[in-house]
Amino acid sequence: MTKVLLSLFLAAIFVCPVESKGNNIKENEEKISFHQLLQAVSEEYVKNPSIPDTSQPKVVNPADVSILAGDNRYWVTIYASDKYERTKALEAGLDIVEISGKQVSGIIHAKSIKTLEEKGFVIALKMTLSEYAQEFFKDFPPNDSAYHNYDEMIEVLQKIADSNKDIASLFSIGKSIEGREIWTLRINSSVKGTQSSSKPGAVFMGAHHAREHLSVEVPLLYAVWLLENRNNPDVKKYIDTLDIYIMPMVNPDGAEYDISTGKYKWQRKNMRVNPDGEIGVDLNRNYAYRWGGPGASHSTWSDTYCGPAAFSEPETQAIKKFVEERDNLKTLISYHSYSELVLYPWGGVDEPIANEKDRKVFITMAQEMAKYTGYKPQQSSDLYVATGDTTDWTYAAKGIFSFTFEITPKSSYSGGFYPGIKVIEKTVTDNIKSAMYLLSVTHNPYSVLGK
Ligand SMILES: [Zn+2]
C-alpha cells in the first residue's frame, strides 16, 4: 500500500508541481527552487541552439578536443567473451566503460597496452582519447554551464540549508587531498551536523569519479527537491523519522580539474600525486573489501589504480570515518555514470551474497528501483569482478544495503560521460523516484520481503 501511495504521490508531483507554500522556507530572492533549477537547464538548452544533439553523428571542431592532444590514453575495443575475461582486462589496466556482447570498450594508458596484448587480448579498435573524443563528443563546457561546479554546488547546499534551518544542516566529512571540504547535507528533524541520531539513516553520494558530472546533479537536485516538498505528507514522514545524508561530490578535486580549462579532461581518479609523478588513485577501487584483488590495477598510470593500500586516500578515509561513526545507517546509493544499471554487491567476487535473506532484499530493492528508472538491475560482478568499491565495503563492514547506480546515458552514442544538459531533467526526476523508494524501506529494508 505504501508503494501505491508513493507512486500516486510521485505521479501527482510530476504532473502538477507541489509548491512549497506554508512551510518554513523564507520567501526571498535567494531561495533556490527545484523547478527553477530544472527550468534554467531547459531554457539554456532552448536559447543555445549550438548545443548538439549527441544522438546524431557528429561534425566536430577539432579545436574542442585539443586539450586531449598530449594525453597518453587510448580508447580501445577488445574481445572478452565473459566476465572472467573482462576482469583480466581490468587487471591489465583497462578501465572498462562499455560492454556490448563479446566486445568491451574502454580507456587504457599507452603503457598498459602491451600488458593487454601479452595477456592474449585481441584489440579490435584503438584510437587516442583525443581521436575518440573527436569521433563522439562535442558537448563542451560552455554549453554545459548548467552543471554545478564545486562552488556552485556549495552555494546551492548552503542556501537550502539556510532556508530550512529547523531540519537541515551542512557539514564536511573531511578534506580532499587538495584540501577541499567534502560537504554533506543532513536532513534530520531532531539533530544537526555531526550529532548522533538513532533514526534509521540513508546516504546518497555522487562523483567518486571526476568526469561523471551528472552523478553530482542527481543527489544535489534531490536534496533541493526533498526540502522544497518537505510539507508533502510522504516526504514529511521520511524527514520526521529518518536521518538523511547527501554528499553530491566525493571527489571535488578531480571534478574541478576535469573542467579547469573549459574543456573536459576525462579525469576519473582523485588528484593524488603518486611517487612516480602519475596523477590519481581510483577512489572506487580504494575501499578495503578485498582491496587490490581482481579487477583493480596496481599501475599508477591506470584509470583503475587502486592506490598503495586500502583507504590510502583522504576522500575514502573521510567516508570510512563517516560510516564507522554511524551505526544507524541502513541504506546507501552511490551514483556513477554511465550505462543505466542498478548494481548490488558483490562486485569483488563472483559469488552471490551468502546470506540468503540479505540477497533477496538486495535483489528486490534493485528490481524496484530499476522500475522507476528503466535501468537494468544486476549483481555488480556479473559485469566484471572489481574489488575495492564503495558498496562492497559498506555492506561488508556495516551491513548497509548499498547500491551503485550507473545512471544515464546508455552508451557513447548518447553522450557517454558528457551527455550534455538535455538529459539532466529526466535523469534527475527518474532517480528521485528510486531515491524515494529507498527512503520508503530505510526503516526496515527486510520489510521488502513481506511477512
Ligand atoms: Zn564511476
Q: pLDDT of 36-78, one tens digit each?
A: 887 776 555 444 434 434 433 333 333 355 677 788 999 999 9
d(CA 268, CA 284): 10
* Residue 21 confidence (pLDDT) above 60: no
Look at residue 26 in the predicted model and tell me its pLDDT: 38
- Closest to 141 measured CA to CA, from 55, 251, 266: 266
Scored b (16 or more CB within 10 A) or e, 221-242 reads bbbbbbbbbbbbebbeebbeeb
pLDDT tens-digit map of 384-405: 999 999 999 999 999 999 999 9
Q: Indicate which residue of 217, 228, 368, 406 is catalytic.
A: 406
CATH topology of domain 2-47+142-449: Aminopeptidase (3.40.630)
CA 224 to ligand 1 centroid distance, Å? 23
Give residue 396 CA to ligand 1 midpoint distance, Å. Answer: 20
pLDDT of residue 132: 81
Short-list 400, 433, 389, CA closest to 3: 433
On the question of pLDDT at 9 being above 50, the answer is no
Amino acid identity for residue 101 in this structure: G
Output the pTM of the full model: 0.81
Contact 246, 219 (CB under 8 A): yes
Q: Right CATH number for 62-136 from 1.10.3470, 1.25.40, 3.30.70, 3.40.50? A: 3.30.70
In the reported structure, the alpha carbon of residue 336 is separated from the centroid of ligand 1 by a whole-number distance in angstroms of: 4
| Residue 93, phi-psi category: left (phi > 0), alpha (psi -120 to 50), beta (remainder) | left
Angle at 432 between CA 430 and CA 435, to 5 degrees: 115
Rounded to 5°, angle at Cα 377 from 434 and 214: 55
Distance 241 CA to ligand 1 centre (A): 31
For the stretch 80-108, pLDDT in tens is 989 999 999 999 999 998 898 899 999 99
pLDDT in tens, 144-202: 888 999 999 999 999 999 999 999 999 999 999 999 999 999 999 999 999 999 999 99
Instruction: Locate the domains of the chain by residue range.
Output: 2-47+142-449, 62-136
Active site residue 152: no
Q: In the structure grid, which three cell numbers stand for residue 399, read together?
A: 551491513
Distance 176 CA to ligand 1 centre (A): 17
What is the per-residue pLDDT for 234? 92
Compute, in angstroms, the gap from residue 74 CA to the centroid of ligand 1: 18
